[in-house]
Amino acid sequence: MTVSHAKKLGYAGMYVLKKLDLKPGEGGIRLPVLLEPQHAPLEEVLEKLVMDGYIEIDRKAQLYKLTKRGISYLGKLIDEAESYIDEFDEQEIADIVDELRARNIDPLRVRFLWGWYQGEFDDVAMFQERRGFVEIEPDWPLFIVSDDFYENLELDVEGDEPEALPG
């Protein structure tokens, strides 16, 4: 199983939307239009979010900001994640994956939303340490678009290792 580029952009976009929604003291960010070097890996993600109408440029402040559509989408993602957690929290991963596949729901999406909602990915260095990464990538923008992140999450839905769905 390999995560397509489009799916990576979508998942990374969900991550960025959450960061833009949170207050800076709660782990949120203010993202300038002229990206700082550490945010450069987000360029394509931000472009997609703008094209989808989820964020826009605040020309006066020169920052990206959520749109009403973006806020609504975040609400739907939260509802979706909560529904999966409520339904599957006490089940074995193999049973969850089988059920999701029977419903034609991407298990990796559910895995991503579960960790996204519960804050598992909020500290990417800690996530990597817990998951046994040999080399830790401390910069979240680079990590959330990396193959390593998604390949590691795939292990959970394939049943090959780390820790399966949290909970």
Domain range for 84 is 5-158
Using CA atoms, how far apart are residues 23 and 86, in angstroms rounded to an integer?
A: 27
- Look up residue 9 and give its two tokens: 């952009």
Q: Is residue 30 part of a domain?
A: yes
Note the pLDDT of residue 138: 94
In a domain? residue 25: yes
- The secondary structure of 25-37 as a DSSP string is GGT----BSS--G
Tally of structural domains, the chain: 1
Q: Between 165 and 154, where is the model more confident?
A: 154
What is the model's pTM? 0.90
Helix axes of 5-21 and 68-88: crossing angle, nearest 10 degrees: 100
Domain-embedded: residue 118: yes
Containing 144, the helix (H) or strand (E) segment is helix 140-144
For the stretch 123-137, pLDDT in tens is 999 999 999 999 999
Domain-located, residue 56: yes
The C-alpha atoms of residue 147 and residue 69 are separated, in whole angstroms, by: 29
